[in-house]
Amino acid sequence: MSRRNELTGSAHISSERPPGFVLHERRKGLLRRSVDSVLQCESVPLTKLAERYGTPLYIYSATTIRERFAAFDNAFRNVPHTICYSVKANSNLSILRLLARQGCGFDVVSGGELERVLAVDRRAARKIVFSGVGKSREEMTAALKAGILLFNVESESELWTLAECAARLHKIARIALRVNPDVAADTHPYISTGLRKHKFGVPISIARTLYAKASATRYLKVAGVSVHIGSQITDVAPFAETVARVADLVRALRADGHQVVFVDTGGGLGIDYQKAGPNFADYVANYARAVTNPLRGLNLHLLLEPGRAIVGPAGVLLTSVLYRKQNDGKKFLIVDAAMNDLIRPALYGAHHEIVPVVQGDVQSEVRREVQREARSKNLPVKKEIVDVVGPICESGDFFARDRELPRTEEGDLLAILDVGAYGMVLASNYNTRPRPAEVLVSGKSVKVIRRRETVRELYSSEL
Percent with pLDDT over 90 in the chain: 76
Decide if pLDDT at 9 tops 80: no
pLDDT of residue 37: 86
User: With contact defined as beta carbons under 8 Å apart, do 446 and 49 qualify?
Assistant: yes
Give pLDDT, residue 194: 39
pLDDT at 308: 95
CA distances from 112 to 82, 140, 274, 460 (A): 22, 12, 33, 21
The pLDDT of residue 359: 83
Q: How far apart are CA 49 and CA 435, in angstroms?
A: 17
Supply the pTM of this predicted model.
0.89
What pLDDT is attached to residue 372? 57
Burial class (CB in 10 A: 0-12, 13-18, 19+), 291: buried
The per-residue pLDDT for 288 is 96
Residue 234: its pLDDT value, please?
Answer: 86
Average pLDDT over residues 82-106: 98
pLDDT, residue 432, reads 97
pLDDT score for 14: 31
Give the pLDDT of residue 106.
Answer: 98
pLDDT of residue 370: 54
Residue 36 DSSP one-character state = E
Q: Cα torsion for 165, 169, 171, 175, to the nearest 10°?
A: -10
- The domain defined by 5-60+314-459 folds into Lyase, Ornithine Decarboxylase; Chain A, domain 1 (2.40.37)
Q: Which residues contact 87 (CB under 8 A, 6 or more apart)?
A: 96, 106, 107, 108, 109, 113, 116, 117, 307
pLDDT score recorded for residue 1: 32
Region 380-398: mean pLDDT is 90
Domain covering 62-312, topology: TIM Barrel (3.20.20)
205-235, pLDDT tens digit by residue?
899 999 999 999 999 999 999 998 888 888 8
Lowest pLDDT segment from 198-212, 234-248, 411-425, 443-457: 198-212
In this predicted structure, the answer to whether residue 171 has a pLDDT above a threshold of 90 is yes
pLDDT tens track for 336-370: 999 999 999 999 899 999 999 998 654 445 555 55
The pLDDT tens digits of the residues spanning 34-91 come to: 457 899 999 999 999 999 999 999 999 999 999 999 999 999 999 999 999 999 999 9
Q: According to the model, what pLDDT value does residue 334 have?
A: 98
- Cα separation, 148 vs 106, in Å, equals 10
From residue 325, how far is each of 33, 55, 334, 354 by CA, in Å? Answer: 33, 20, 8, 18
pLDDT tens digits, 10-35: 333 233 355 688 877 765 554 444 45
- Mean pLDDT check: name the lowest of 16-20, 95-99, 427-431: 16-20
Confidence (pLDDT) at 220 = 98
- CATH 2.40.37.10 in the chain: give the residue spans: 5-60+314-459
Partners of 423 in beta bridges: none
* Mean pLDDT in residue range 294-322: 97
Q: How far apart are the first and last CA of the chain?
A: 57
| Cβ 66 vs Cβ 98: under 8 Å | yes
The predicted structure's pLDDT at residue 348: 87
The more confidently predicted of residues 360 and 104 is 104
pLDDT at 161 over 90: yes
Beta partners for residue 106, in sequence order: 85, 128
Which whole-number Å values give the CA distances from 19 to 398, 446, 460, in the listed order? 27, 17, 41
CB atoms within 10 A of CB 145: 12
Supply the residues annotated as catalytic.
Answer: 393
Assign 374 to helix, strand or coil. Answer: helix
Positions of CATH 3.20.20.10 in the chain:
62-312
- pLDDT, residue 380, reads 55
**Could you tell me which residues are beta bridge partners of residue 302?**
81, 263
Instruction: Give the pLDDT confidence score for residue 278 in this predicted structure.
Output: 74
